[in-house]
Structure 1
């Protein structure tokens, strides 16, 4: 820290830190004239220095790093295989455009244009020149390259930029030609290799099929498919290639599992007549016999009978029309004529009521006859339906058992047939695996060959096209005003440097003088407060400050108090103060004012000690010595009176 403090009195909190900053600003204010001199002199030197530096001018142009999408797709499959850069790697492209291979001829031209320049050791000079004079940057989010060149020779900038545009445009065409050459060489070599490999793998698959009595199918390679994607061979379709007899074997095995499940399900069926009918109908032979349909019709009739019985039981005496309808659906009742008789009675009753009242004897007789007929029809309908229901139940279980037996027998017969077919297509596991491996290899080689031939045709077509060089967005231009030096910046930097030197020198000067300078430093050192500030005019009888001090010392606990004077005082002021601060005789307390030397020679056992001093002449050495002696006496300063 700038100011020395008592280690025991330091407090690590924010208030102390703010207080130190306040002291620092007070220190700057006390030394403002010295710091100002340093700042002014440094600022003037900065202005003079800025005018001694040569002007630096800047020119720039922008160019598009164009990428042809069709060309990119043609080469993209082989970028990593043949060692070419990725088409979208613009950062790599920028690195090439900054490389010595492109820019060293430009530097040589610049050095030759400056007669005094030495063109030897271009390699060593190149990197320094590129760092200090050239900026090559991609505009963010685009493929636009911004090139800026700086030089002290204003007339040289435009010619240099023009040469750079020609070099970059020539490089764009050279890259395309080199890519075509490498790709064609690679494809021709690979086509020759895969022609031989494809013929050999195809012959091996055919020979193996003949030896093992297998059917060799055509590979059916799609010439429009692209095998090479993402720099790796895609074998998804080839891995799905299967062999006909293996498919038949797998199909037969699945059918056997299905038949076993059906047989087990049929055996476990009890009251699930609908499921049994479904299984029976799914077996062609049983469906042709009609047994599932017969059982289904019986079940439907049984359901109808139950519904009719429920309806008859729920009918009241007046629901004659519903009763006639149900009776008409029962053949035995129709044959007996009961439904028609009831209908005729209703018709006659309607006719009579049109002529007579209900009290007529004919109407009364018809109503009684209708009641008897409807009761008879209801009883006979219930009887006939129950008889039919009983007959259906008697035949139901034998039919269901018959359907189960026939279904199981048919499925077992079908299972034997499928097992025979499965055994006919069985081959040893090693034969199947070997044949599949040969088929996949032959198909993969053939497809790779087709893809390589397609790529070679595309590359040859691309090579026949004439490609435009990279497009200039802006022509090389020169800024009218120099970009360097920034005289304002240089002058301001010198001003800041001068101010900093002034502050450092002021700190050095203060430390060398060892003066306390500020009352706050004194308070921090002894960890006490200033009791009072006294000027020469305050040291007089009746002064409020003197009266306050007398009252303060009178109220102190302890009988013996000493004021230790430290630093330079006017002897006259010291005598006046000693006289004015003399305590009342009626008071048993003693107050003495002694210099630091007198205090050391005094043997009095003081209970209170206070310091009286001037900060402008007081040195840290003096207060350190005083505190050291007070520590030996187990006495500490309780307050400070400042003179000024």
Structure 2
């Protein structure tokens, strides 16, 4: 006997990598096409009926810009001026500046919040109740989820607000009410914010006005006690005149210094002095130093005029140290040391700095109050409407019957395929040709196409010529495995009988009935036998004598 087919012939139904074979998937749909088609038809029919029972839904929308719009480059419409004003108030109040980057997200939340949309829902509910056959109004949360959509336009600060309803007449009125409610809420927020800012500024003005007045009184008393004249109250000429008078009336040391300086003229060999006393001890000290240098070039160190200038220089230096550079000119109290004079001036500067800080804060608060009052008086529309509420289309947006039917078709196809796949898995029948070929211990002689039964006779004749010689005698057994179609089995047995000539052919589904045959040929088809039965028959074939000559596959897939 010679081999007609080789087991190494490529089988397109078997995946060499053990994965899902596309041909196997196609074969699955081919053998289950009627059942899958019926399930898909039922699902599609139900979807179409469902689509026609749904009420039509209309949709309308409008758009707003979230960012505030300034109409001029300055004043309170300017975003920069508003930011500076609010930042100043926040810094005075000790609160953090709001995160402007979160404005858009905040507005998205506000637009869907019950505080804004609850009145709109009640308005829509009243309108719907007034219309005949309009259906029942859902509760607020389902209504919000199914009827209202708020979305940001990509890469912009604009928002699109959409409203859907089964009543076309409700779309525009509800959208208008929604627009008005949102703008009213926005103005309310602005008005409350300004009112709170004004109230806060007024309360702080009262506090800092009291602090400023008290600090000014303490500063004035300190200046009077120590004879300090502030440059904020007198100009330089008036200050020098007052300082000179204080020193003449209450500062005898300075008076004697000036007299001594003016009396230096004529001393030492008839030399005259060019020094003239001033109201500034620092200037007087500088003049004495220059005069002293000039005289030392002319006279000796023992000259009376030089000694006099040295004494006067020391006296003025001591006076400067004890009066903090001439700033302290009290007729009733003189510092006892340089350190005490410096301490008095440090205390004075701290009092003056604190008084100035209170006054500056008070000025800022008063300016802030004025700005907030003007802003409160100015009418403002914080959200710009860029499109009026309109219907998206004159036709309903839903239900889209075509889409629903396609969804039903897809669900039917998927569910039907899954159910039939599970059914085949539970049945345990072998449909993959590769699995059959692996389990039968013999050569696959031929795949007989169901689509072309007329070719069977010629194929069988060639197979038998290769298997048997003309001199061979004995019975030939045809073992059919599983539920092979009887029509195909009868046709196959006729072809084999014609090819055997005068040899007897026994046909049975039981191997023991064919025990007396000298040669056996097995025939089966995909789905005709389970894995368990095929494994059992394969073991019996291995134990029997003679061995199986080969097997035939009635293939419905080619």
Normalised-by-shorter TM-score class: 0.5 to 0.7
Q: Is 1:62–1:146's contact at 8 Å kept on the other side of the alignment?
A: yes
Partner of 1:544: 462
Provide the rounded CA distance (Å) in 2 between the counterparts of 1:209 and 1:524.
115
**SS of equivalent to 2:379:** coil
Check whether the contact 1:51–1:487 (CA below 8 A) recurs between aligned residues: yes
Equivalent residue for 1:193?
207
**Cα distance per residue 1:486-510 (max 9 Å; x no partner):** 1111111111111123213432443
3-state DSSP class of the match of 1:16? coil
After TM superposition, the structure 1 stretch with the greater mean CA deviation from structure 2, 171-180 or 181-190, is: 171-180
Q: Is the 8 A contact 2:448 2:456 kept in 1?
A: yes
Match of 2:120 among 72, 86, 106: 106
Which moves more between the two structures, 466-475 or 133-142?
Answer: 466-475
Tell me, yes or no, if the aligned pair for 1:530 and 1:639 is still in contact at 8 Å. no
**Counterpart in 1 of 2:420?**
506
2:42: which partner in 1? 41
Confirm or deny: 8 A CA contact 1:79 1:85 kept in the other structure. no
Task: Give 1:122-137 correspondences, 5 Å limit.
Answer: 125-137=139-151
Question: 1:108 Cα shift?
Answer: 1.3
Three-state SS of the structure 2 residue aligned to 1:543 is helix
CA distance in 1, matches of 2:140, 2:460: 87
**CA-to-aligned-CA distance 1:223-249 (integer Å, 9 cap, x gap):** xxxxxxxxxxxxxxxxxxxxxxxxxxx
Does the C-alpha gap of structure 1 residues 66 and 628 become closer, same or farther in structure 2, counting only changes over 3 Å? same
Distance 1:617 1:215 in 2: 121
Tell me what 1:239 maps to: none
The answer to whether the aligner puts 1:451 opposite 2:451 as a matched pair is no
- Equivalent pair of 1:540/1:546 in contact (CA under 8 Å): no
Q: Pick from 374, 389, 414 the counterpart of residue 476 of structure 1.
A: 389
- Cα deviation, residue 630, structure 1: 8.3
From 181, 189, 195, give the equivalent of 1:181: 195
SS at match of 1:484: coil
| CA deviations over 1:151-205 (Å, ceiling 9, x no partner) | 1111122222222233233334333322221110111112222233345566778
Q: Deviations over 1:430-482 (max 9, x none)?
A: 99998887666555444333222221121122223233464433222223010
RMSD value, Cα = 5.3
42 and 567 in structure 1: CA distance in 2 versus 1, 3 angstrom threshold: closer
Cα deviation code 1:92-123 (max 9, x no counterpart) = 23322332222222211221223389xxxxx9
Q: Relative to 1, partners in 2 of residues 1:463 and 1:524: Cα closer, same or farther, differing over 3 Å? A: farther
CA spacing shift, 1:447–1:624, aligned 2, 3 Å: farther
Q: 1:594 to 1:96 in 2, by over 3 A?
A: closer
Label 1:575 to 1:149 Cα distance change in 2 as closer, same or farther (>3 A). Answer: closer
Cross-structure match for 2:533: 622
Q: Quick one: distance in 2 between partners of 1:41 and 1:181?
A: 66
Say if 1:135 and 1:149, in contact at 8 Å, map to a contact too.
yes
Give how far 1:522 is off. 1.5
1:534 and 1:641 in contact (8 A); partners too: no
Number of residues paired by the alignment?
400
Paired residues of 1:76 and 1:86 also in contact (CA < 8 A)? no
- C-alpha distance in structure 2 between counterparts of 1:436 and 1:628, whole Å: 114
Note the residue ranges of structure 1 that are not aligned, 5 or more in a row: 1-12, 118-122, 220-416, 552-561, 582-592, 603-608
Judging changes above 3 Å, is the alpha-carbon distance between structure 1 residues 61 and 575 closer, same or farther for their aligned structure 2 residues? closer
In the aligned structure 2, how far is the partner of 1:542 from the partner of 1:23? 27
Q: 2:437 matched to 1:523?
A: yes
Q: 1:14 to 1:625 in 2, by over 3 A?
A: closer
8 Å CA contact retained: 2:445, 2:550 = yes
Is the Cα contact below 8 Å between 2:164 and 2:171 reproduced in 1?
Answer: yes
SS in 2 for 1:641: strand
Is the contact between residue 615 and residue 642 of structure 1 (CA under 8 Å) also seen in structure 2?
A: no
Residue range with higher mean Cα deviation, 52-61 or 526-535: 526-535
Which residue number in structure 2 is paired with residue 57 of structure 1? 58
Structure 1's 621 and 433: CA in aligned 2 closer, same or farther, altered over 3 A?
A: farther
CA distance in 2 between partners of 1:161 and 1:53 (Å): 23
Question: Residues 531 and 443 (structure 1 numbering): CA distance in 2 closer, same or farther, change over 3 Å?
Answer: farther
For 2:373, which of 453, 460, 480 is the aligned residue?
Answer: 460
Contact 2:481 2:522 in 1 (8 A): yes
**Which position in structure 1 is the counterpart of 2:86?**
76
Q: Distance in 1 between matches of 2:349 and 2:548?
A: 105
Q: Deviations over 1:114-157 (max 9, x none)?
A: 3389xxxxx99222211111122333344433221111111122
Assess, with a 3 A threshold, how the Cα gap between structure 1 residues 19 and 109 changes in structure 2: closer, same or farther. Answer: closer
* Stretches of structure 2 lacking an aligned partner (at least 5 in a row): 1-13, 71-75, 132-136, 234-313, 325-337, 470-476, 501-506
Q: SS in structure 1 opposite 2:164?
A: strand
Match of 1:166 in 2: 180
Q: Which residue does the alignment assign to 2:111?
A: 97
Whole-angstrom distance in 2 between the partners of 1:156 and 1:462: 37
Match of 2:434, SS? Answer: helix
**CA 1:541/1:113 → structure 2, altered by over 3 Å: closer, same or farther?**
closer
With the length of structure 1 as denominator, give the TM-score of the two structures. Answer: 0.50
Task: Give the Cα–Cα distance (whole angstroms) in 2 for the partners of residues 572 and 465 of structure 1.
Answer: 101
The question of whether the paired residues in 1 share the 8 Å contact of 2:443 and 2:551 is answered with: no
Deviation (angstroms), 1:35: 1.6
Seen in structure 2, the aligned counterparts of structure 1 residues 189 and 540 have a Cα distance that, compared at 3 Å, is: closer
- 1:23-422 pair list within 5 angstroms: 23-65=24-66, 67-69=68-70, 70=76, 72=79, 73-74=81-82, 75-77=85-87, 78=89, 89-115=103-129, 125-199=139-213
CA deviation map 1:326-345 (0-9, x unaligned): xxxxxxxxxxxxxxxxxxxx
Residue aligned with 1:533, SS: strand
Pairing of 1:570-581 with structure 2 (within 5 A): none
Q: Which has the larger radius of gyration?
A: 1
Over 3 Å counting, the alpha-carbon distance change for 1:464 and 1:539 in structure 2 is closer
